[in-house]
Structure 1
Amino acid sequence: MTENDLLYTLALQNVARIGDTTAKKLINHCGSAEAVMKEKRHNLLKIDGIGTLTLNDLFERNHLEAAEQELKFIKEEGIKAHYFTSEKYPEKLKHCIDSPILLFEAGTINLNKKHIISIVGARKITTSGIAFCERLVEELALYDPVIVSGFAYGTDITAQKAAIKNKLQNIGCLAHGLNQIYPKVHKKYMADVENNGGFYTDFWSTAVFDRNNFLKRNRLIAGISEATIVIESAEKGGSLVTADIANSYNRDVFAVPGRTTDSQSVGCNNLIKYQKAHLLSTPLDVPYLLNWQLEDNEKPAIQKQLFVELDDNEKIVYQFLEGHDKELLDVIALKCNMPTYKLAGILLTMELKGVVRPLPGKLFEII
């Protein structure tokens, strides 16, 4: 993307009545943002869905003037600007109809051939929520996923601190420009994030900080990832909005269940109840349901072990499989009287302990 292309794309992005979806329609028709802004009004009005109100101030000079100032900021601060068709633009985000035409990056983000998950939840996260979130990131570290969140209070920063601790690349999606950080108290984590990941935003440095920005930010969190995980949520909250957006993008959503009497579990319980999310009872449900595979050199050595300690549920599964050559996951769940989601985690744990192995077709056998 040339500097001239970036200038005109910034100018188009600055037009208040033209959102990302409309901007893409105009660019796809005209060939570039510059072509859009130099096209005759009557030609643009021939495009389906484009009306006079949309083009009301498209040709005003102030858009290029504002773009010149933002371009200066981008160059001085070393910010990377990714065009929505470029190779560096997150692949999964490209498939979202309302993804930004420009995405700004600070840091060292590399999404090439990576598993990417978003972790969101309550800002007033409970002690048990923190413990589950930390355990989730720690147990998924074997698969080297990228952890995405909003860098906000509570669940977000818990997930990102856990990613830092486990040396996982992590991304903070921001609801403001890259000239500031919110909340300010999280500034101390910025260097660690940027050294192994970084920050994404589609807001300019001149953007006025507003609560509505968080809703726009949430589409980045949901769109970048293959799955969104909700740790905790009250009956209403931003994390539920993110889950709804992820569902609209046909992405997987996971929710951690809680007691019906816990206010911070109502949102997650409702997601599960209304079949908007997979029930997440153990971290290992994630790689199983997303069908993540370890490379041969990453797999723990699996061999027949003597005196392996099994818990009560693992013993039930083991005893059943002892009497069978190999068996289907659903059959094991039925015969052992266990929900499939719970059995999946048990079998993966047993695989890591070296007592069972998976076979094609969701079959399992004792080693």
Structure 2
Amino acid sequence: MNTFEECICSIALTLIPGIGHIWAKKLVDGMGGSAADVFRFRKELPGRLPGVHSRVVEALDCPQAMVRAEQEYAFAEKNRIQCLTLAGEQYPSRLRECDDAPVVLFFKGNADLNTLHIINMVGTRNATEYGKQLCATFLRDLKALCPDVLVVSGLAYGIDIHSHRAALANELSTVGVLAHGLDRIYPSVHRKTAIDMLQHGGLLTEFLSGTNPDKHNFISRNRIVAGMADATIVVESAAKGGSLITADIADSYHRDCFAFPGRSTDEYSTGCNQLIRDNKATLLLSAEDFVKAMSWEIDSRFQKGENVQRSLFPELSDEEQLIVSILDKQGNLQINSLVVEADIPVHKMNAILFELEMKGVVRVLAGGMYQLLR
């Protein structure tokens, strides 16, 4: 696949009037993961994809979108910004599973967006000392228990920025998801932290340069925060707020959600207490509780080398042994990657992985990653 062409076409697809996030992803997925093929075979779309109207074909004939896309790609190249398309290996695999995932993301930094453990921490913009202390203590303790966690938030005032700073203080990678293009930092008072994050995480956005941080962009941004993480952690929230929207989105993605409780009289614990009361979030008291709930202790033990002897594995078929060999060589992979590596159809791969899981040879992790139980 031509990376340059795929980037240009992915960016252009976001600029086509009348095609939102969900339809853009449907079109790309329907054409085998290629935005370039959406444009290349646009006249064939109605016959190949149910629900595609001829108006979509007409809309895709949009030279000005291609021109703007080329300008944005040039901006990204000049500023050493990575253009991540749905088909690319560096695209956040957990986010790719979501129906409304962006068809293109722009990333500047050095974080692995597909690392084994990813959380997001969100909350009120009016963080209290209690909330700030929770950020600091939780991430300090989490670092000791699970040192490879990536911490995601939105670089906003309050809990967001304190989560980023606590992550940096504990030498954890941290990524800020922005509600505007990478030609600016908003709020500007967080610029120093944002610069530090480029060396220990990064900045991520779906928005093109020149995009203002308008209110509706923050809601759109929240789905990326929720979708790229294994779990959402709400630290403090009033009865209404963006963090509750993020929690709802995480629930719709079938991701874990946790909330720190507060006193019933505390305004900025009301939202957290409601999430817990309504069974929309698990009560969170400590990093140890969180790691246990996520079963991450087991992951850490494997990484330290407490391995099950390979001889204890039951007899495997040739295809099962092939999957084991791939996972042994490359580490944790999603089913799409296994399909490509093993050259086995996805429906058959599902059956093989189910058998391996039942035999105790592999297990599925959050984000759909398959792990070999060594």
Structure 1 and Structure 2 fold alike (TM over 0.5): yes
Q: 1:55 deviation in Å?
A: 4.6
RMSD over aligned Cα atoms: 1.8
Q: What's the CA shift string for 1:6-65, capped at 9, x where partnerless? A: 112211121131123212322233443233223354x32333122345455321221111
Determine the structure 2 residue equivalent to 1:86. 88
Give aligned pairs, total.
Answer: 298
Offset at residue 112 of structure 1 (A) = 4.8
2:193 paired with 1:192: no
Check whether the contact 1:17–1:55 (CA below 8 A) recurs between aligned residues: no
- Residue 282 in structure 1 maps to residue 283 in structure 2: no
Asked if 1:202 is matched to 2:215, the reply is: no
Change (3 A) 1:28 1:116: closer
Conserved? CA contact 2:257–2:281, under 8 Å: yes
CA offset digits 1:152-203 (Å, max 9, x no partner): 1000010110011001111101111111111000001122111111011110
Q: CA deviation at 1:109?
A: 1.1
Residue 176 of structure 1 aligns with an amino acid whose one-letter code is H
Determine the structure 2 residue equivalent to 1:73: 75
Structure 1 pair 54/208, CA: closer, same or farther in 2 (3 Å)?
A: farther
C-alpha separation between the residues in 1 aligned to 2:223 and 2:128?
25
Any idea what SS the aligned residue of 1:57 has? Answer: helix
Letter paired with 1:259:
R
* Cα distance change of structure 1 residues 72 and 113 upon mapping to structure 2, 3 Å threshold: closer
CA distance in 2, matches of 1:297, 1:123: 37
Distance 2:222 2:267 in 1: 22
Distance 2:133 2:226 in 1: 23
| Cα distance, 1:91 vs structure 2 | 1.8
Q: Residue 13 of structure 1 corresponds to which residue in structure 2?
A: 14
In 2: Cα distance, 1:35 partner to 1:228 partner: 35
Alpha-carbon distance change, 296 to 38 in structure 1, aligned in 2, over 3 angstroms: closer
1:45 is paired with a residue of what secondary structure?
helix
Which amino acid counterpart does residue 90 of structure 1 have in structure 2?
Answer: P
The answer as to whether partners of 2:115 and 2:150 remain within 8 angstroms in 1 is no
Mapped to 2, the partners of 1:240 and 1:278 lie a distance apart of 14
Q: Please report how far the alpha carbon of residue 238 of structure 1 lies from its aligned counterpart in structure 2 after TM superposition.
A: 0.2
Task: Determine if contact 1:85/1:94 at 8 Å carries over to the other structure.
Answer: no
Question: Out of 253, 256, 262, which is 1:249 matched to?
Answer: 253
Q: Residue 28 of structure 1 aligns to which amino acid in structure 2?
A: D
SS of match in other structure, 2:185: coil
Shift of 1:297: 8.0
Could you say which residue in structure 2 is the equivalent of 1:58?
A: 60
Q: Which runs of 5+ in 1 are unaligned?
A: 300-367
Residue number in structure 2 paired with 1:153: 157
The equivalent of 1:102 in structure 2 is 104
| Distance in structure 2 (CA, Å) of the matches to 1:166 and 1:49 | 49
Contact 1:21 1:99 in 2 (8 A): yes
Corresponding residue of 1:291: 295
Write out per-residue CA displacement over residues 198-249 of structure 1, whole angstroms, 9 at most, x where no aligned residue.
0111100032331100011101111111000000111110000000011111
Identity %: 41
The alignment partner of 2:151 has SS state of strand
Cα shift readout 1:127-170 (whole Å, capped 9, x = no counterpart):
11111111011100121211110011000010110011001111
How much has 1:75 moved relative to structure 2?
A: 1.0
Question: For 1:133-144, what aligned pairs fall within 5 Å after superposition?
Answer: 133-142=135-144, 143-144=146-147
* Structure 2 Cα separation of the partners of residues 286 and 219 of structure 1: 22
The one-letter code of the counterpart of 2:17 is A
Q: Does 1:234 align with 2:235?
A: no
- Shift of the 40–105 alpha-carbon distance from structure 1 to 2, 3 Å rule, reads closer
Q: Corresponding residue for 1:318?
A: none
Preserved CA contact (<8 Å) 2:186 2:213:
no
Give TM-score, length-normalised by structure 1: 0.77
More helix by share: 2
User: Match of 2:59, SS?
Assistant: coil
Q: Any idea what SS the aligned residue of 1:151 has? A: coil
Distance in 2, Cα, partners of 1:40 & 1:5: 15
Counterpart Cα distance in 2 of 1:160 and 1:209: 19
Instruction: Indicate the residue corresponding to 1:24 in structure 2.
Output: 25
Letter in 1 for 2:139: V
Cross-structure match for 1:131: 133
The superposition leaves residues 102-146 of structure 1 with CA deviations (integer Å, 9 ceiling, x where unpaired) of: 111001012454311100000001111111111011100121211
Q: Is the 8 A contact 2:25 2:101 kept in 1?
A: no
Map residues 117-128 of structure 1 onto 2, 5 A cutoff: 117-128=119-130
- The residue identity in structure 1 corresponding to 2:187 is P
Q: Secondary structure at the match of 1:104?
A: strand
Task: Give me the whole-angstrom Cα distance separating, in 1, the residues matched to 2:86 and 2:303.
Answer: 35
Counterpart residue identity of residue 25, structure 1: K
1:355 is matched with which residue? none
SS at structure 2 position matched to 1:199: strand
The 3 A distance-change label for structure 1 pair 20 and 152 is same
**Any unmatched runs of 5+ in structure 2?**
306-374
